Amino acid sequence: MEWLNQFDVVDFGYTEEPIPTTVDYYNEWVKNNLHAPLEYLAGERQDKRQDLKNHWSEFQSALVFLFSYHPSHFELQELYKKDPQWNGLKLASYTLGFQGEDYHNILRAKLEGIGEKLKSEHGLEYKFTLDTHPVLERDLAKRAGLGWFGKNSMMINRHHGSFFIIGSLLLNKKLDIKTKTSETDHCGQCTRCIDACPTDAIDPVTRTIIAKDCISTFTIEQFKIDTVPSEKMDLTSGTLFGCDICQDVCPWNKRVDRKNDFEKVSWNDEQKKILDFFVLRPVENVHADLEKMSGGEFERFFQKTSFFRSGKRGLLKNIRLYLKQKLNILS
């Protein structure tokens, strides 16, 4: 299936197994309330995640794809190191991947393009899934032989690290595709992700995330301006939106950096707009402009990007906490 290259797929796998191998761990995680405040991971959507057939009754097989944004991550790290205009704020690197647009829109189009080709060639029906659907997508990728769970719960691929988005096609037919051998856990005794997390959000025993303490949860998933942060929440490293810390230190991502065989990124206008607004001018100016933006102005400026989801209030919440904690350090 070399034609997948035209859809920017860096790896793919196939499985016919509908039930997640880690479903018991997931259920225990929710039972212990470690998912809070992400309530959409419980209840009806938790029930659907128990079996792919609960989400789509026609399921017979799945093709799982990895879409890498490692080149954008690498370029963003270079900016932090070398650009004298950098103001100390950091963005999750997926926000600069996929041409700087919301990856859900970009990858939906790619998945539908792949699905339509398979439909015309094999006479099948398909249903695409991304991380907005009630599917344990990392477990699905694991069943398809695409990697293993790191101690930070991220899916790690030996060739592409963990800076990728998983997208899948659920199919109503089985295909004549060889399944990959399940990948061995290659984390060994390494604890770099656990040690690096500034909020102790990684449970080293269960290798799961304590969601309320996770910087990504606070900065992306909690939208209210008056959200009370976890007592462990720490944004002093500059993490304004999302967090790459546990992935930055991973040897498997460092290995991809060293190989450096990916195409160099040249920022487009959308990506430059994001960088110019958030990281290449004084933080006080970022805060002031967010404050004075109307709701309509915010929507027009960020409508194509991943920041649209959090909204003006969510971003203001983040930058205010950053400034408060920074000022406390400096005082």
**CB crowding 285-313: b at 16 or more within 10 Å, else e:** ebbeebeebeeeebeebbeebbbeebbbb
User: What is the percent of the chain with per-residue pLDDT over 90, rounded to a whole number?
Assistant: 96
Q: Which residues are bridge partners to 169 per DSSP?
A: 63, 128
185-199, 226-240, 250-264: the lowest-pLDDT one: 250-264
Confidence of residue 2 (pLDDT cuts 50, 70, 90): confident
Collapsing DSSP states into helix, strand and coil, what is residue 180?
coil
**331 pLDDT more than 60:** no
Catalytic residues: 131
Average of per-residue pLDDT across 34-42: 97
Average of per-residue pLDDT across 314-322: 97
Specify the residue for token string 């991502």.
253
Q: What is the dihedral of CA 232, 238, 239, 243, to 10 degrees?
A: -90
Phi, psi torsion values for 64, nearest 5 degrees: -120, 130
Cβ burial, residue 132 (10 Å; 0-12/13-18/19+): exposed
pLDDT (tens digit per residue) in 150-171: 999 999 999 999 999 999 999 9
Averaged pLDDT of the chain: 96
User: What is the percent of the chain with per-residue pLDDT over 70, rounded to a whole number?
Assistant: 99
pLDDT at 202: 98
Confidence of residue 328 (pLDDT cuts 50, 70, 90): confident
pLDDT at 191: 98
- Domain span at residue 185? 2-330
CB 127 within 8 A of CB 281: no
Confidence of residue 330 (pLDDT cuts 50, 70, 90): low
pLDDT (tens digit per residue) in 80-139: 999 999 999 999 999 999 999 999 999 999 999 999 999 999 999 999 999 999 999 999
DSSP string, 121-163: HH---EEEE-TTSSS-HHHHHHHTTS-EE-TTS-EEBTTTBT-
Specify the residue for token string 């449970």.
203
Q: How many domains does the chain have?
A: 1
pLDDT (tens digit per residue) in 259-300: 988 888 999 999 999 999 999 999 999 999 999 999 999 999
Q: What is the dihedral of CA 51, 52, 56, 61, to 10 degrees?
A: -140
Q: Which residues are bridge partners to 65 per DSSP?
A: 12, 167
